[in-house]
């Protein structure tokens, strides 16, 4: 058996942490034969709950789990980490926009950036989940300049999977045969879920559904508002689906996307034509394929005028969030 991969989960005593840790130990993130050591970080008020999670992981006797570091010390948690899943932070409640938790969470990500830079393994892959996910990832990347920009990403795979799920429900095609939807932009209500290049059961999605008014209206709103709908229904934000999408994101990034398939990832925009005109340096969700642990933006997609306007609107919100985060940090 290969050497274990060290996977850090921050906010490990929280809802997503509790759903995610067992998935990682079952091989859903890195593969059924890859041993793991879990690094679980939370804050001192959650220390007892964190210990409880670690106890349960021991009790589950996972064959792939080769060790657990459960700690409230960020430097200790980051030591020797290969994959860092940054879930720690404050979730939004009913009626809030994700950027409303920005003040608290941006400060956390600035602080944890240096710990990661100093203690994680070179080549560590970072996935930011906590909201506002894109902006937290951007701040982390800016304050950890030694970590290559392309190694810091944020989660929009949940939105991507939600889009696939909605198309599957509407068409009756199993979700495994729905492909290549795209989430452009921010993990927020301005994201643009785009079906123009996707297929369901081998047919273009627009043809399979045959209802452009639905696809241009209700479909987009449903995917954009799905997080809020789950909060309204559960009184808690998505956890099972978030954890599962985290595993999908890391698995495809590390092991490669299946042939003919792309996925959505929040990545730093390289700017220019290769980034569909999205300003360089924004943490923006694009369609990507992954090979040998590296992502590349899918090239050559035709963007119609409607899509362009929606892509620009979500980029504008990201610019606004970036400015807001910088202001908050300057005032710290």
Ligand X SMILES: O=C([O-])CC(=O)C(=O)O
Ligand Y SMILES: NC(=O)C1=CN([C@@H]2O[C@H](COP(=O)(O)OP(=O)(O)OC[C@H]3O[C@@H](n4cnc5c(N)ncnc54)[C@H](O)[C@@H]3O)[C@@H](O)[C@H]2O)C=CC1
Helix axes of 133-142 and 102-119: crossing angle, nearest 10 degrees: 40
Among 10, 180, 222, 285, binds ligand Y (CB under 6 A): 10
- Partner whose binding site includes residue 14, from ligand Y, ligand X, none (CB under 5 to 8 Å by kind): ligand Y
Place of tokens 């059924």: 32
43: contact with ligand Y by CB under 6 A: yes
Closest to 193 in 3D by CA, of 285, 91, 304: 285
238: contact with ligand Y by CB under 6 A: yes
- Enumerate residues 6+ apart whose C-beta is below 8 A from 311: 184, 185, 192, 276, 278, 303
Active-site residue list = 187
108: contact with ligand Y by CB under 6 A: yes
* DSSP at 150: G
Distances (CA, A) of 25 to 125, 257, 285: 18, 21, 28
39: contact with ligand Y by CB under 6 A: no
What secondary structure does DSSP assign to 305-326, as a single string? Answer: HHHHHHHHHHHHHHHHHHHHHH
42: contact with ligand Y by CB under 6 A: yes
Question: Under rule CB under 6 A, how many of the chain's residues touch ligand X?
Answer: 11
Residue 331 is assigned to a ligand binding site: no
Among 57, 87, 182, 230, binds ligand X (CB under 6 A): 230
Q: How far is the CB of 51 from ligand Y (least distance, A)?
A: 13
Cβ-contact 201, 219 below 8 angstroms: no
Contact residues: ligand X, CB under 6 A: 91-92, 98, 131, 158, 227-228, 230-231, 237-238
Contact residues: ligand Y, CB under 6 A: 10-11, 13-17, 41-43, 46, 87-89, 91-92, 108, 129-131, 133, 155, 158, 187, 237-239, 242
């Amino acid at each position: 058996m290969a050497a274990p991969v060290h996977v850090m989960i921050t906010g490990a005593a929280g809802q997503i942490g509790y759903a995610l840790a067992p998935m990682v130990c079952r091989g859903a993130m890195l593969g059924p034969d890859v041993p793991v050591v879990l690094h679980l970080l939370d804050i001192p008020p959650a220390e007892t709950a964190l210990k409880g999670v670690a106890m349960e992981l021991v009790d589950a006797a996972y064959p792939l789990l080769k060790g657990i570091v459960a700690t409230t010390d960020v430097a200790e948690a980051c030591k020797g980490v290969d994959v860092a899943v940054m879930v720690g932070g404050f979730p939004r409640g009913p009626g809030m926009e994700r950027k409303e938790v920005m003040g608290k969470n941006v400060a956390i990500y600035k602080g944890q950036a240096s710990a990661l830079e100093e203690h994680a393994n070179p080549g560590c892959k970072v996935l930011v989940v906590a909201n506002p996910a894109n902006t937290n990832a951007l701040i982390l990347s800016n304050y950890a300049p030694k970590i290559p920009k392309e190694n810091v990403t944020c989660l929009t795979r949940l939105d991507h999977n939600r889009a696939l799920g909605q198309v599957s429900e509407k068409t009756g095609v199993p979700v495994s045969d729905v492909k290549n939807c795209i989430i452009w932009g921010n993990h927020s209500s301005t994201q643009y879920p785009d079906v123009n290049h996707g297929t369901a059961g081998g047919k273009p999605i627009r043809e399979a559904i045959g209802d452009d008014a639905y696809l241009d209206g209700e479909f987009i709103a449903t995917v954009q508002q799905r997080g809020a709908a789950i909060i309204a229904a559960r009184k808690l934000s998505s956890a099972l689906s978030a954890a599962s999408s985290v595993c999908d994101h890391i698995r495809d990034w590390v092991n490669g996307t299946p042939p003919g398939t792309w996925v959505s990832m929040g990545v730093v925009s390289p700017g220019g034509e290769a980034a569909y005109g999205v300003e360089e340096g924004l943490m923006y969700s694009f369609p990507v394929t992954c090979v040998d642990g590296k992502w590349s933006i899918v090239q050559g997609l035709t963007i119609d005028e409607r899509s362009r306007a929606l892509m620009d609107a979500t980029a504008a919100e990201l610019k606004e969030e970036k400015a807001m985060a910088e202001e908050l940090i300057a005032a710290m």
